[in-house]
Amino acid sequence: AQSVTQPDIHITVSEGASLELRCNYSYGATPYLFWYVQSPGQGLQLLLKYFSGDTLVQGIKGFEAEFKRSQSSFNLRKPSVHWSDAAEYFCAVGLNTGFQKLVFGTGTRLLVSP
Amino acid sequence: DTAVSQTPKYLVTQMGNDKSIKCEQNLGHDTMYWYKQDSKKFLKIMFSYNNKELIINETVPNRFSPKSPDKAHLNLHINSLELGDSAVYFCASSIGRKDTYEQYFGPGTRLTVT
């Protein structure tokens, strides 16, 4: 069965430090990959997505992610974290079934320390 | 302007009651979704409608009944509420049913069953 794993439940990063959030997926074909962010009390917002082509994708708010087929990973990165980045981050796989069906990971909560 | 709105934002009710959550999107999208986010933040799709047609119906108790009166609205009615129904319910929409389309999420409805 398709699954998405985010191994880190919580991560604390100092403001200004770099960030990497891990995401691994299990899926037979090349999936469509997404990262969403959920700020406290808010709905989810799309940060970036990967369908094909260049494996390094740029998103909003200075985030980027790299698709590595050999590792079945799609890790999210940011070179310098801001306090406003504190939120819950979800990796998701879009199953190529002909219509939208996202399978989400369990999320990683990012805490930013001063 | 709110793109995807949900009412109510909070809903506290007793076991056995029947309640509805409403969702409206003003993006002109064709496809809408209901997700359930449990206390561990795990997000799972429940239903999806495309042009008022049900296209995804996950393993959800039949106490849950979605209704789409038009493309801009997708309501969720829950009969005989149980303690395990307590969760945050998110509505989302996308421009179409293809897997590559971004989903836009509402702010969520926090349902508490006592």
pLDDT digits (tens, 9 = 90+) for A29-86: 778 899 999 998 888 999 999 988 889 999 999 999 999 999 999 999 999 999 999 9
**A15 CB near a chain B CB, below 8 Å?**
no
Higher-pLDDT residue of B53 and A98 is B53
Task: Yes or no: say if A99 and B48 are a contact pair by the CB < 8 Å rule.
Answer: yes
| pLDDT at B99 (0 to 100) | 65
| pLDDT at B54 (0 to 100) | 87
For A43, which of B41, B99, B107 is closest by C-beta distance? B107
What is the distance between the alpha carbons of residues B10 and B8, in angstroms, rounded to a whole number?
A: 5
What is the distance between the alpha carbons of residues A42 and B61, in angstroms, rounded to a whole number?
A: 26
B42, A46: Cβ pair inside 8 Å?
Answer: no
Report, as an integer, the average pLDDT of B3-15.
95
Closest chain A residue to the Cα of B40, Cα to Cα = A106
**A40 CB near a chain B CB, below 8 Å?**
no
| pLDDT at A96 (0 to 100) | 64
Task: Yes or no: say if A23 and A5 are a contact pair by the CB < 8 Å rule.
Answer: yes
| Chain B residues touching residue A42 (CB < 8 angstroms) | 107-108
